[in-house]
């Protein structure tokens, strides 16, 4: 079915930090959607057709759906768990919660809640860690496939330093991952991410099996964690005493490439930064969890200068909001503490096309370019009385975006579309 979606459209075709005129904006715009894809975008007056159904979202903004590049599906019920830094938080809250995903029926129920929350916050694609249980990934992929959502996910591989209920073995982690790849990678809009949780919870034997999976499936993403917390780094290096640094562990087992997503990447050594740039490995900024767990301040400008591509993500459940708007809000504040700036155009690029670039998927998602998936978010910059009051004085598009970035949340999401289908 072809339909026209009308509103003020905003889409990026380049990074505003490095390129002038990096976006396209139509004050009275329209997007023609056909078979789940964007057929055309432009001025409403140029695209309207007498016999074409229309949906009118004026005066709201229409952007590409948000992309979340690091989120933990099994942690939906430990968000806002009090206290502790990373390692204590994992042992006290996360691992016991993830053990529940071995129970019959739990993962499918949580998958429905998880995807509903993403869509309510305007997120149409996520890169998700599942639990160590194969059925958790099965449940998430099944639920995403039913919605035609583009999901990148994988069961975590972890065979030590955690309770028995969340451990696999090097062989079972390999076998389960292999089976999930064969079933789900490339099925509809689903993609698999090979997922060693982090070096602390994987033995050298499991890391070797992870490297084997990467060699056998070079088109899969790889996701893990790197240098989130100083105690984590010290513990990691004690487990791998031959490693030059934390990144060297992943490098030793052949994981570094432009498919590798390294959550956090805060406390990096110069050699690590250089190797990430040389291999194209991606850093992922998780501002709300970095603040919540007291982990540290991400150096966006330093990594950019070194040539490292960065994504930005919620990191539920160490992160505290499903909202990419609130993620951008806290990201702005962290970069302020770093003496760096996050302009609203750069922020909205980051949460859309920028994250798509980090995933190597900018030809499919993250923009409103013809041929892209019709994954859209409709944003209301006057969604609350406080926002409406502020917007009465806003004079530019940049001001409006900054109001959304700082004051917005799920209340600002008027509609979310996945492959052209309204989801709210």
Nearby residues of 113 by Cβ (< 8 Å), 6 or more positions away: 76
Q: What length is written for the chain?
A: 424
pLDDT of residue 299: 98
Helix (H, G, I), strand (E, B) or coil at 321: coil
- Taking the CB of residue 239, how many other CB atoms lie within 10 A of it? 16
pLDDT of residue 134: 97
Tokens encoding 47: 């695209």
What secondary structure letter does DSSP report for 94?
I
Q: How much is the average pLDDT of 35-62?
A: 97
pLDDT of residue 25: 98
CATH fold for domain 2-65+367-422: Urease, subunit C; domain 1 (2.30.40)
pLDDT of residue 358: 98
Report d(CA 61, CA 9) in Å as an integer: 6
Q: Work out the angle between the directed axes of helices 134-147 and 170-184 (0-180°, nearest 10).
A: 10
pLDDT of residue 133: 97
Report d(CA 244, CA 237) in Å as an integer: 9
pLDDT of residue 205: 98
- In 90-227, alpha helices (H): 95-99, 106-120, 134-147, 170-184, 204-216
Q: How much is the average pLDDT of 272-293?
A: 97
Q: How much is the average pLDDT of 141-170?
A: 97
The terminus-to-terminus CA distance of the chain in angstroms comes to: 19
Best CA proximity match to 36, nearest among 220, 188, 185: 188
For residue 83, pLDDT beyond 80: no
Q: pTM (2 decimals)?
A: 0.97
The pLDDT tens digits for 217-260 are 999 999 999 999 999 999 999 999 999 999 999 999 999 999 99
Q: How much is the average pLDDT of 11-24?
A: 97
Question: What's the pLDDT band for 419 if we cut at 50, 70, 90?
Answer: very high
Q: How much is the average pLDDT of 111-132?
A: 98
The fraction of the chain above a pLDDT of 90, given in percent, is: 95
Best CA proximity match to 62, nearest among 404, 407, 406: 404
pLDDT of residue 81: 86
Tokens encoding 37: 């894809």
Domain boundaries defined on the chain: 2-65+367-422, 66-322
Establish whether domains 2-65+367-422 and 66-322 are of one fold.
Answer: no
For residue 97, pLDDT beyond 80: yes
pLDDT of residue 1: 83
pLDDT of residue 186: 98
Question: What's the pLDDT band for 21 if we cut at 50, 70, 90?
Answer: very high
Question: What's the pLDDT band for 85 if we cut at 50, 70, 90?
Answer: confident
DSSP string, 31-86: EEEETTEEEEEEEHHHH--TTS-EEEEEEEEEEEPEEEEEEEGGGTTTTT--S--H
Average pLDDT, the chain: 97
pLDDT of residue 9: 98
pLDDT of residue 88: 87
* The CATH homologous superfamily of the domain defined by 66-322: Metal-dependent hydrolases (3.20.20.140)
- The strand pair at 310-312 and 282-285 is best described as parallel
């Amino acid at each position: 079915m072809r339909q026209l979606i009308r509103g003020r459209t905003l889409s990026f075709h380049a990074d505003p930090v490095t390129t002038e005129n990096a976006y396209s904006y139509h004050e009275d715009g329209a997007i023609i959607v056909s078979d789940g894809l964007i057929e055309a975008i432009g001025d409403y007056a140029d695209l309207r057709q007498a016999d074409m159904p229309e949906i009118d979202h004026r005066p709201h903004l229409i952007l590409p759906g948000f992309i979340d590049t690091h989120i933990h599906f099994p942690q939906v019920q430990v968000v806002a768990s009090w206290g502790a830094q990373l390692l204590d938080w994992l042992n006290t809250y996360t691992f016991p919660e993830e053990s529940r995903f071995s129970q019959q029926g739990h993962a499918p129920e949580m998958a429905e809640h998880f995807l509903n929350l993403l869509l309510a916050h305007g997120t149409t694609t996520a890169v998700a860690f599942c639990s160590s249980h194969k059925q958790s990934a099965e449940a998430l992929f099944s639920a995403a496939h039913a919605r035609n959502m583009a999901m990148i996910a994988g069961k975590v591989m972890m065979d030590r330093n955690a309770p028995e209920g969340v451990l696999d073995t090097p062989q079972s982690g390999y076998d389960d991952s292999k089976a999930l790849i064969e079933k789900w990678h490339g099925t509809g809009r689903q993609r698999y991410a090979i997922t060693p949780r982090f070096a602390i919870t994987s033995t050298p034997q499991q890391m070797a099996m992870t490297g084997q999976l990467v060699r056998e499936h070079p088109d899969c993403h790889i996701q893990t964690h790197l240098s989130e917390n100083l105690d984590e780094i010290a513990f990691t290096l004690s487990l791998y005493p031959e490693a030059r640094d934390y990144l060297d562990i992943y490098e030793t087992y052949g994981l570094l490439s432009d498919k590798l997503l390294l959550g956090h990447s805060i406390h990096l050594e110069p050699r690590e930064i250089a190797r990430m740039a040389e291999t194209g490995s991606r850093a992922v900024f998780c501002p709300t969890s970095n603040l919540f767990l007291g982990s540290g301040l991400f150096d966006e400008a330093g990594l950019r200068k070194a040539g490292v591509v960065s994504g930005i993500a919620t990191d539920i459940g160490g992160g505290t909001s499903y909202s990419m708007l609130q993620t951008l809000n806290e990201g702005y504040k962290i970069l302020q503490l770093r003496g760096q700036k996050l302009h609203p155009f750069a922020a909205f690029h980051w949460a859309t096309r920028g994250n798509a670039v980090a995933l190597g998927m900018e030809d499919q998602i993250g923009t409103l370019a013809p041929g892209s998936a019709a994954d859209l978010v409709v944003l209301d910059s006057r969604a609350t009385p406080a926002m409406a009051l502020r917007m009465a004085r806003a004079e530019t598009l940049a001001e409006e975006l900054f109001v959304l970035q700082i004051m917005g949340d799920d209340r600002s999401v008027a509609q979310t579309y996945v492959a052209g289908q309204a989801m709210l």
